Amino acid sequence: MRSEQSEIELDLPPEYCHYRDKGCEFADSCLNCPFPSCIYEQPGGKQRWLKRQRNTEMARLFAKGKKIKELAQKFGVSQRTVQRALKNYSISQKSRLLKQSKEGENERSFHLNTISQP
């Protein structure tokens, strides 16, 4: 009898639950989160996101003329890590550009097909 009551209590509708949405360091509330899915639910999510941000900043500074040695000192990593980050960043950028160009071609061909049809 007692276990049946506890199961019923656990299955309350959301309006009867006292859920506190405290958010995280990226957003004050889960409902205002800038990410499509919570980075804490993905394995290594926060670390992966921070690393991606670091690599993007490294690539931006490198494009502005900073040397690899300067970047390594600024970010507190080895020169090889900077080289690897720049290489991986350029590969991901190229694949993103290819994907966008393919999507653009598909949209153009669709647009051309719809125009040519009577």
Reported as a single tens digit per residue, the pLDDT across 32-67 is: 888 888 888 888 888 888 888 899 899 889 888 899
- Nearest 5°: phi and psi at 56? -65, -45
Contacts of 59 (CB under 8 A, 6+ apart): 85, 86, 89, 90, 93
Ranges of each domain in the chain: 7-98
Q: Which residue has the higher pLDDT, 106 or 10?
A: 10
Closest C-alpha to 53, from 61, 42, 65: 61
**pTM, rounded to two decimals:** 0.56
Reported as a single tens digit per residue, the pLDDT across 62-117 is: 888 899 999 999 999 999 999 999 888 877 775 665 665 666 555 544 444 444 44
Specify the 3-state DSSP secondary structure of 109.
Answer: helix
